[in-house]
Amino acid sequence: MDVASAKLIGAGLAAIGVGAASIGVGFVFGSFLQSAIRNPAASDGQQGRLYIGFAAAELLGLMAFAVAMLILFASK
């Protein structure tokens, strides 16, 4: 296998992480909505934690994306 095709396969494998992070982001917002609809009065106070969870889950997806892009474009 030559290096160019190995690069493309590696970038594709790294992109799996983006999909996995999307599951995480969906889980964060889904869980928040589930509990917020049960107790709407308490939901406003938890907005900060919601965004922390969102940022933590999203960070890993962005890192996977950045790794894929580094493999494709930055490695010579």
Partner 1 sequence: MAAAADIDPMHQFVIEPIFGSFGHNNPFVFTNSALWTLIVLGTIWLFMFGGMKRELIPGRWQVAVEGLIAFIDDMVDVSIGPQGKAYLPWIFTAFVFLLFANLMGDMPLGIVAPAHPFSITAQFTFTGVMSIITFAIVLGVGFWKHGFGFFSLFVPKDAPFVFKIFITPIELISFLVRPFSLGLRPFIAMFAGHILLDVFGNFVVQALNSHSAGGIAITILSMLFIMFVSMIELLVAAIQAYVFAILSSLYISEAVNLH
Which residue from 40, 46, 59, 71 is in contact with partner 1, where contact means CB under 8 A? 59
DSSP states of the chain: --HHHHHHHHHHHHTHHHHHHHHHHHHHHHHHHHHHHH-HHHHGGGHHHHHHHHHHHHHHHHHHHHHHHIIIII--
Residues 12-51 that bind partner 1 (CB under 8 A): 48, 51
Give the residue with the Cβ less far from partner 1, 33 or 70. Answer: 70
Q: How far is the CB of 7 from partner 1 (least distance, A)?
A: 8
Q: How far is the CB of 37 from partner 1 (least distance, A)?
A: 23
CB atoms near residue 65 (< 10 Å): 16
- List interacting residues with partner 1 (CB under 8 A): 4, 7-8, 48, 51-52, 54-55, 58-59, 62-63, 65-66, 69, 72-74
